[in-house]
Amino acid sequence: MIIAIDGPAASGKGTLAKRLAEHLGFACLDTGLLYRAVGRDVRSRGFRLDDTWAAVAAARGLDPVSLTDPGLRGTVAGDAASIVARIPEVRAALLAYQRDFARQPPGAVLDGRDIGTVVCPEADVKIFVTASPEVRARRRFSEFQAFGMDVAYETVLADILTRDARDAGRPNAPMVVATDAMLLDTSNLSIEAAFDAAVGLIKRKIGQPGR
Ligand code: CDP
């Protein structure tokens, strides 16, 4: 079974994906980490982020073990990710890994921007998670503070708005709500309430999920 969770930055999709995967006994993949890692590798090799050749080489040679790098958090890595993510050949190079991951038994939860539309259009359940930009910026700001990262709230909000525009506006695999996705607005929901709401949506779609 495949569960696709898409949505903009800090909408709560990552936390939700992990909680759902735990609940269902499924594997979980944060696909944003793939793009973040490509951005990191392009930079560390001294290339520009919009250098197609360097970005494609980084995507093709990506080591999944390096996805646990804590340096992948943060606004700089997120911004770099959304630049390399615009390159169609980078997206193509990361497709097989994501699709293989998605097909593992007994099931997988993937979160990103194009899971329900491009990576797994056949997903059994598609949820598009959203929240207002201010709520998302506030959440991300608190996360950064908890990690001891010194970033201003205004910077976080500006970054989120820039990335929303870049992700929704790119011609290749833009962030759009799949026609068969269920919407979940977490603006006024706690993590627990968002989880309960998502379980409710899944039940409505496919009946009692999980173990
Ligand atoms: O955690 P957050 O939502 O801030 O970002 P992320 O999910 O780690 O994604 C970082 C960037 O990678 C996004 O802004 C997108 O540009 C890109 N991305 C993508 O294009 N497609 C995906 N499936 C996942 C991420």
In a domain, 148, yes or no: yes
Distance 188 CA to ligand 1 centre (A): 23
In a domain, 13, yes or no: yes
Q: Given ligand 1 and candidates 163, 170, 176, 177, which is best to mutate, with the most ligand atoms within 8 Å of its CB?
A: 163
Contact 43, 49 (CB under 8 A): yes
Q: Using CB atoms within 10 A of its CB, is residue 177 exposed (0-12), middle (13-18) or buried (19+)?
A: middle
Decide: 113 in ligand 1 pocket, CB within 6 A. yes
- For 9, 106, 164, the CA distances from 193, given in Å and listed in that order, are 19, 26, 25
User: Locate tokens 């607005």: which residue?
Assistant: 185
In a domain, 71, yes or no: yes
pLDDT of 135-179, one tens digit each? 999 999 999 899 888 899 999 999 999 999 999 998 999 999 999
Residue 208 pLDDT grade (very low, low, confident, very high; cuts 50, 70, 90): low
First and final CA of the chain: distance in angstroms? 13
- For 35, 78, 163, 175, the CA distances from 85, given in Å and listed in that order, are 6, 10, 11, 11
pLDDT of 97-135, one tens digit each? 999 999 999 999 999 999 999 999 999 999 999 999 999
Q: Using CB atoms within 10 A of its CB, is residue 146 exposed (0-12), middle (13-18) or buried (19+)?
A: exposed
In a domain, 93, yes or no: yes
- Domain enclosing residue 115, as ranges: 2-193
pLDDT value at residue 164: 94
The model carries a pTM of 0.93
Contact 87, 60 (CB under 8 A): no
Decide: 39 in ligand 1 pocket, CB within 6 A. no
In a domain, 208, yes or no: no
Q: Whose CA is nearest to atom 23 of ligand 1?
A: 112
Distance 114 CA to ligand 1 centre (A): 9
Decide: 9 in ligand 1 pocket, CB within 6 A. yes
pLDDT value at residue 52: 97
pLDDT value at residue 104: 97
* Mean confidence (pLDDT) of the chain: 94
Cis peptide before 106 (omega within 30 of 0): yes
Report the alpha-carbon angle 97-21-113, nearest 5: 50
Residue 211 has pLDDT above 60, yes or no: no
Q: Give the nearest ligand 1 atom to 111 CA.
A: 23
In a domain, 200, yes or no: no
d(CA 88, CA 85): 7
- Number of domains the chain contains: 1
In a domain, 90, yes or no: yes
In a domain, 198, yes or no: no
CB-facing half-sphere around the CA of 32: CA atoms within 13 A = 25
Strands of the chain (E only): list them. Answer: 2-6, 27-30, 108-112, 125-130, 182-185
Average pLDDT over every residue of 27-54: 97
Strands of 24-82 (E only): list them. Answer: 27-30
State the CB neighbour count (10 A cutoff) for residue 63.
8
CATH of the domain at 164: 3.40.50.300
Distance 104 CA to ligand 1 centre (A): 22
Decide: 36 in ligand 1 pocket, CB within 6 A. yes
